[in-house]
């Protein structure tokens, strides 16, 4: 079960969400989308402009195109929720990438998703059909995300409050 009392945070500059007191959940609304706070999308915080710019820097550094993926790599990919309205990033291990025979020019990507509450196991098989070659995945390899996070935090320190690079005098 998800912890609904802990304050959530980010390494990128942020302010706690006042709607949910930084927990990502609204008490008494568990019957609506499991009580996930609509204001912050369950994150528990809102990135400042500076934090959002640093987060973009990070996302760009860990981005992987679908046609760049290699078997065995651990990635985040955007799986649409059942209701089709929101994106949902899930962690998965790439098993294979092949041309999609039914959708010319697109890819068929087989993955193993990590099942909830099962530690490091990737045991839910799933296949994405009709994936555009330039679809964005994100690396979840610590050897890539670690240095990218450090670089984004360093970049954040060079930004003004408005999220723009400080002018040199
Ligand atoms: Zn919130």
pLDDT tens-digit readout, 53-72: 999 999 999 999 999 999 99
29 and 78 in a single domain? The answer is: no
**Domain span holding position 127:** 63-141
> 9 alpha carbon to ligand 1 midpoint, in Å?
11
Domain count, the chain: 2
Protein residues near ligand 1, an ion, with CB under 5 A:
17, 19-20, 37, 39-40
> 54 alpha carbon to ligand 1 midpoint, in Å?
21
92 and 136 in a single domain? The answer is: yes
Q: Whole-model pTM?
A: 0.79
pLDDT, position 124: 81
> 134 alpha carbon to ligand 1 midpoint, in Å?
32
Q: Is residue 56 situated within a structural domain?
A: no
**CA atoms within 13 Å, Cβ hemisphere of 87:** 6
Burial profile 141-153: b = 16 or more Cβ within 10 angstroms, e = fewer: eeebbeebbeebe
């Amino acid at each position: 079960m998800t912890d609904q009392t802990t304050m959530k945070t980010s390494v990128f500059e942020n302010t706690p969400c006042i709607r949910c007191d930084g927990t990502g959940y609204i008490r008494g609304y568990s019957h609506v989308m499991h009580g996930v706070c609509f204001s912050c999308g369950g994150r528990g915080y809102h990135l400042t402009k500076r934090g959002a710019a640093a987060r973009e820097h990070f996302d760009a550094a860990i981005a992987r195109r679908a046609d760049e993926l290699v078997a065995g790599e651990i990635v985040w990919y955007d799986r649409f929720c059942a209701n089709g309205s929101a994106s949902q990033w899930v962690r998965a291990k790439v098993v294979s990438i092949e041309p999609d025979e039914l959708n010319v020019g697109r890819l068929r990507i087989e993955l193993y998703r990590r099942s909830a509450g099962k530690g490091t196991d990737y045991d839910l098989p799933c296949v994405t059909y009709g994936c555009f070659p330039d679809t964005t995945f994100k690396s979840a390899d610590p050897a890539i995300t670690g240095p990218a996070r450090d670089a984004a935090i360093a970049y954040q320190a060079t930004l003004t409050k408005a999220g723009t690079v400080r002018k040199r005098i």
